[in-house]
Structure 1
């Protein structure tokens, strides 16, 4: 399955910053409704907070799950490296393939 995502660079302007913060705030609020995590877990979201389609988009089309914190940190670093290596800029489209 693939879907289009659009890069959100929060430092671009006030609109982008507001959407990024809304994504983060929505994720934090909704994660509190999930069963308590293990001590080493963090709540993660898809689509990524750094996309216009994140949890704060208002359409309810997102997923949350507690994952090991080290895995979450590695995934965030890999996403940042992907953005840089592929030169994915603010509002650029990209696809995520689940394999």
Structure 2
């Protein structure tokens, strides 16, 4: 069994068809689903792997909070940098575990 990296937080994700663009939508989704993050790409990975019986993990990096779309507050370069660093470390660890 391959373990999840202990230095990362496991969170509950919500797969959506449209990102929340208002504070009201963000609050409603938080109340209804109690999700920590939202993703627009995760469902296809989950569905295919579940159907095929393939274990999977989704590593995501958060660049912004749900709510009004102030793109100036997003930090996509930092999110990509963190994801690259974490993914590289995780793949190297998996290589040694397998």
- Verify same fold: TM over 0.5: no
- Is the helix fraction higher in 1 or 2? 2
Q: Of the two, which has the highest radius of gyration?
A: 2
- Is the strand fraction higher in 1 or 2? 1
